[in-house]
């Protein structure tokens, strides 16, 4: 009887450990997703910066292209 109780307790402990590992993996995945989002935002910022005209002539040239 005691052996069965100990075995059940060990099984519960293993299950808790597996659950903790799954939670750690989910947290790592969330962190990777946050990093990917930060990288996408940095890329959008680089694109916005590169799209800014360097002078009014370039700005008007871009306006004409858009208007065509």
At 8-42, the pLDDT tens digits run 999 999 999 999 999 999 999 999 999 999 999 99
Residue 56: the pLDDT is 61
Q: Which domain holds residue 10?
A: 2-67
pTM above 0.75, yes or no: no
DSSP state string for 3-68: HHHHHHHHHHHHHHHHHHHHHHHHHHHHHHHHHHHHHHHHHHHHHHHHHS-SSHHHHHHHHHHHH-
For residue 2, the 8-state DSSP code is H
Cβ(53)–Cβ(62) below 8 Å: yes
Q: How many domains does the chain have?
A: 1
């Amino acid at each position: 009887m005691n052996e069965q109780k100990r075995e059940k307790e060990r099984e519960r402990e293993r299950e808790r450990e597996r659950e903790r590992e799954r939670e750690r993996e989910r947290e790592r995945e969330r962190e990777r997703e946050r990093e990917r989002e930060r990288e996408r935002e940095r890329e959008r910022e680089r694109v916005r910066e590169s799209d800014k005209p360097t002078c009014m002539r370039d700005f008007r040239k871009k306006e004409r292209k858009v208007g065509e």
